[in-house]
């Protein structure tokens, strides 16, 4: 935490490498010195290594503002909460995840997660399509790809309809107590 304990005020009882009395004879000084020696012994093994995340989450300020400003389909939509739910999944799995914007490069990631990616900035759909064609895994959620970067709804097909394999026909947002489901090849899924 700190090299030397303060002699007064709030810092006087905080832990430190050197305490008020024992200097380099203190247990904490000896233990910190031992850690330093151990780290020195493995320096050649770890020098130059970097843990680079294989996953990224798209977080975009303009998207956040647009989601906060939109007057539907639900007023309780919380962009940051949805992003954090997705980050928590990576965290609980012990996976590092970077946060990126729509303008960033994605090719170094195996997984690109874009929760509630309501608006697509110019060129974003093209970048995502290329990313997926090159082997990347793109994960998105409901209320994504609705509007362009001026918050005007797309007309015609969803910009990534072919990549996602879904067609949006309508938007509806019933309350939490509504049980939604679908039928696929004769089987009902909830």
CA distance 73 to 40: 58
Instruction: Report the pLDDT value the prediction gives residue 103, as an integer from 0 to 100.
Output: 96
Instruction: Report the pLDDT value the prediction gives residue 180, as an integer from 0 to 100.
Output: 78
- DSSP category for residue 151: S
Please tell me the number of Cα atoms within 13 Å of 2 on its side-chain side: 12
Residue 6 DSSP SS3: coil
Whether the pLDDT of residue 42 is over 80: the answer is yes
- DSSP category for residue 11: G
Q: What are the boundaries of each domain within the chain?
A: 9-46, 55-168
Whether the pLDDT of residue 1 is over 70: the answer is no
> Which residue(s) pair with 95 in the sheet?
none
- C-alpha 180: how far from chain center: 27
pLDDT tens per residue, range 73-122: 766 789 999 999 999 999 999 999 999 999 999 999 999 999 999 999 99
Identify whether the C-beta of residue 156 lies closer than 8 Å to the C-beta of residue 168: no
pLDDT tens per residue, range 155-165: 999 999 999 99
Instruction: Report the pLDDT value the prediction gives residue 33, as an integer from 0 to 100.
Output: 92
178 or 44: whose pLDDT is higher? 44
Please tell me the number of Cα atoms within 13 Å of 23 on its side-chain side: 0
Whether the pLDDT of residue 3 is over 70: the answer is yes
pLDDT tens per residue, range 46-60: 888 888 999 999 999
pLDDT tens per residue, range 19-36: 888 778 888 899 999 999
CA distance 156 to 173: 21
pLDDT tens per residue, range 116-153: 999 999 999 999 999 999 999 999 998 999 999 999 99
- pTM: predicted TM-score of the whole model, two decimal places: 0.71
CATH T-level fold of 55-168: Rossmann fold (3.40.50)
Whether the pLDDT of residue 18 is over 90: the answer is no
Instruction: Report the pLDDT value the prediction gives residue 63, as an integer from 0 to 100.
Output: 95
């Amino acid at each position: 935490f700190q090299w030397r304990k303060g002699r007064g005020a709030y810092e006087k009882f905080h832990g430190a490498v050197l305490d008020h009395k024992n200097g380099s004879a203190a247990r904490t000084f000896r233990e910190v010195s031992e850690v330093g020696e151990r780290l020195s012994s493995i320096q050649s093994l770890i020098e130059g290594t970097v843990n680079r995340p294989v996953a990224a989450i798209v977080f975009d300020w303009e998207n956040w503002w647009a989601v906060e400003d939109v007057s539907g389909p639900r007023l309780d939509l919380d962009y940051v909460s949805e992003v954090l739910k997705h980050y928590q999944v990576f965290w609980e799995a012990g996976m590092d995840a970077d946060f990126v914007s729509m303008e960033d490069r994605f090719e170094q990631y195996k997984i690109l997660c874009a929760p509630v990616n309501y608006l697509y900035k110019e060129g974003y759909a093209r970048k995502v399509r290329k990313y997926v064609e090159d082997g990347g895994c793109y994960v998105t959620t409901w209320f994504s790809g609705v509007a362009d970067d001026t918050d005007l709804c797309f007309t015609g097909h969803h910009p990534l309809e072919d990549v996602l394999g879904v067609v949006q026909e309508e938007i509806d947002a019933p309350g939490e107590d509504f049980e939604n489901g679908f039928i696929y090849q004769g089987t009902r899924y909830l």
